[in-house]
Amino acid sequence: MDWIKKATNKAKDLVHEHDGAHQQQPQHVQQQQPIGQPKPGPASDPVKVDHITTQVRVHGQQQSNFPHIFRDGGGGGTVGGKHLIIFADGMYTRGEPPSDPKRIVSFVSNSIAVAGDANSHGSPPTLARVTDQGTPDRGPAQAVPFLTDQGETAMGTAIWPNHNIATMPGTNGTVGVAYSEVIDRELFKQQKFALLYNTPLEIHIDARSGYPAVTRPCKSLFVVGEPMFGSFCVVYPELMPDGGDGYLYLFGRVSEAANPESNGLKLARVRRQGFADRSQFEFWDGQRFGPTMPALDDGGAASVLHYSQEAFGKHYGPGSGDVWWSAAHGCYIMLLQNGAAAIDPSIYLSHSTSLTGGWSKPVCIYKMPRFEDGYSYCFHAYPNMDPTGRVVPISWTQDSKSRSCRIHVGEVLFS
């Protein structure tokens, strides 16, 4: 992710000289990209995993109402009747790619968009095109705010969503919840472990603007050295049997643990009112839910999914993914990418009739396309966009040293 390092090095100038530089330069309003229906490619060969058969179709690069956006992709969900996708670091430029810092118009640590085109009346929303909030001359606006009064800074801190958005039980789908990870940019630049904590987000659609609005009830929830519950995914209540049981179920990934047996997924749950209060969480210990949080590196004792793959002498657990109940198949389905995204572009499928265990061994159903000078990562699925569960949109980021990071989209066909 060389472009992110360049962006981090440029962050100070963008933060402190943003307004002045813009005033010195002539107004440059970029033109909206042409609107067009996505033309999916041919379906891949069928892959059968027990009673589930899948095929994948690729749509190509995601478009926005603003041109020249380079960013990492997180996940999404449906809030207030709108399909949302949330992104990590994003660069908006006067041309492409942003290899020359002089082309950079703006940089945001994260952004959020509505799936589909605001000008396409009556057309069903598509993940292949999104409508960003912001301005044509400055690009997308930052969605998740920094808590500058609590030590976070635009220069030194990154808020990186790489998760889905679930709805809050009991809100009729009007309130979303998610858990973003917060990163120390200086440590990241030094290629050191940079994760600090994750932070709970509350998302709703602003009645006046019609755009999603994000608030943070507290600075941090789980901290480095603990499982980041919710940062892998939160199970969408409407995609659970009978609409769920009133709990939010949050998966936390363990990847690159000292003991490879610890790699996998852990599970917690919480009632709506406690979604930002760790004292109200209950944690699966391998047998039952209780108040004691399992250790990150526990040899897999509390894991609901045991998953570790070796690559070039190192073991990796899950990286990113999503979980939902498929009424068509009578089980929960998990699609995931492992933590060795730079090595393995595979999409893996696992299934279970219970969130707390019995997950099948993950099987590769597809290998995401990648640039010849880069790799694909930040995989996510969007089962909320198809209630039938038959055609599930997916997205990932294709990184390229020469062409930067771009969101690409496709769909998984289930039968």
- For the stretch 177-208, pLDDT in tens is 999 999 999 999 998 989 999 999 999 999 99
CA distances from 28 to 23, 70, 107, 136, 299 (A): 11, 18, 16, 8, 56
Instruction: Characterize the bridge pairing of strands 129-132 and 63-64.
Output: parallel
Percent of the chain having pLDDT more than 70? 91
Whether 31 maps to a domain, the answer reads no
CATH number of the domain where residue 91 is located: 2.115.10.20
DSSP character at residue 156: T
Residue 23 lies in a domain: no
Residue 125's pLDDT is 83
In a domain, 26, yes or no: no
Mean pLDDT of 40-57: 96
Instruction: Evaluate whether residue 35 is within a structural domain.
Output: no
Domain encompassing residue 361? 2-16+40-414
Examine residue 32 and state whether it is found in any structural domain, yes or no: no
Instruction: Assess whether pLDDT exceeds 60 at residue 176.
Output: yes
Distance CA 39, CA 59 (A): 6
* pLDDT per position as a tens digit, 263-313: 999 999 999 999 999 999 999 999 999 999 999 999 999 999 999 999 888
> Residue 309 falls within a domain, yes or no?
yes
CA dihedral 62, 64, 67, 73 (to 10 degrees): -50
- Count the neighbouring beta carbons within 10 Å of the beta carbon of residue 245: 11
How would residue 25 be classed by pLDDT, with cut points 50, 70 and 90? very low
Query: What are φ and ψ of residue 101, in 5° steps?
Result: -55, -25
**From CA 204, how far away is CA 211, in angstroms rounded?**
8
Residue pointed to by tokens 């749509």: 59
Q: Is the model's pLDDT at 48 over the cut of 90?
A: yes
Residue 27 falls within a domain, yes or no?
Answer: no
Contact 389, 414 (CB under 8 A): yes
Write the pLDDT tens digit of every residue in 223-249.
999 999 999 999 999 999 999 999 999
| Domain count of the fold of the chain | 1
- Read off the tokens for 226: 């603990």
Confidence class of residue 85 from pLDDT cuts 50, 70 and 90?
very high
Instruction: Give how far the C-alpha of residue 341 lies from the chain's centroid of Cα atoms, to the nearest Å.
Output: 14
Residue 359 maps to a domain: yes
